[in-house]
Structure 1
Amino acid sequence: MFDNLVVELGPWSWWLLGLVLLAAELVLPGFFLVWIGLAGIIVGALSLLFWDDAFWVWQLQWLVFAAVAVIVALLGRRYFYNNNQVTDEPFLNQRGASLVGRTATLGEPIAEGRGRIRLNDTYWTVKGPDLPVGTRVIIVASNGRELTVEPV
């Protein structure tokens, strides 16, 4: 049945596959089926040109489809995921990194390299040289949930 459909539709079967994949992207959003659907449409355009040629067998069509899908996905990712944009909040969703450079007072002493500070309404685990309670420290680095401090 599928073979008959491909034979009857000819090069338009690739266009149909591409459009079905693009429609599937609407149902299953993830921004990945767009590239595969676009590859199907490109192979459909090539099939319109080469359909009657002897070298344009179905095996070559599928190889071209796979290669074009990879190329289009890489180019699309490069174009749409370019992170070189200037933003007014470069540390959005990086709360620890946004604290670097701030000063605070130790709420607990740093003993054996670990202690705690309070910034705003959050207690943070800090590491640094052993220091007594009440020492003013500056945050010099962040690695997720732990801040590195030095005395001011």
Structure 2
Amino acid sequence: MDWLIDPFFYNWLILAIILLIVEVATFTLLFLWLGIAALIMVVITWTFPDLSMPLQLLLFAILSLLSVVMWSLLFKKRQAKSGSLIMNNRAQRYVGRTTVLIEPIDNGRGKVQLDDSYWRVESSVDLPIDTKIRVVGCRGTTLLVEAAD
């Protein structure tokens, strides 16, 4: 039973391997960072073999918390930069773009072509064909537009 206690770094290595295997099976990214914290604990316990188990557990908890918080902050920054918030909402990508009406807006509804697609549009005012418009929002697959200056 002494192998469970001495040396500690084997236990941390086993835990790191288990956490990384769980990460491969689940693809959550949480277990990846916990596994990295366990790998850091391998280095710490190999370097300082006299650390007590409560101190090791405290260090692991701190490392785990720091790694998950850093990952969370990094992920939020990357998500905001990459535009992944609108990845599954194609209509949202067109907000801010300008184009010309290919059908007049009559009773608040009309049609435009953006890139290779035709889109239904809604406006609070009726506009004639060939009017330059700006997309200001979307509701489902309908673009909300206003006349561009």
* TM exceeding 0.5: yes
Report how many residues are paired: 139
The C-alpha deviation readout for 1:118-140, integer Å capped at 9, x for no partner, is 23454424233x22564724024
Residue matched to 1:127 = 123
Q: TM-score, normalised by structure 1?
A: 0.67
- Aligned pair 1:117/2:78, yes or no? no
- 1:17 shift after superposition: 0.3
* CA contact 1:117–1:126 (8 Å) conserved in 2: yes
The C-alpha deviation readout for 1:41-65, integer Å capped at 9, x for no partner, is 1122212233324xx332x322221
* The 10-residue stretch of structure 1 (15-24 or 62-71) with the greater mean CA deviation from structure 2: 62-71
Q: Structure 2 matches for 1:26-105, cutoff 5 A?
A: 26-53=24-51, 56-58=52-54, 60-77=55-72, 78=74, 82=78, 93=88, 94-98=90-94, 100-105=97-102
How big is the alpha-carbon RMSD for the aligned residues of Structure 1 and Structure 2? 3.6
> Aligned partners of 1:84 and 1:132: how far apart in 2?
35
* CA contact 2:34–2:68 (8 Å) conserved in 1: yes
Q: Which runs of 5+ in 2 are unaligned?
A: none
Q: Which runs of 5+ in 1 are unaligned?
A: none
- Aligned pair 1:142/2:137, yes or no? yes
Residue matched to 1:10 = 8
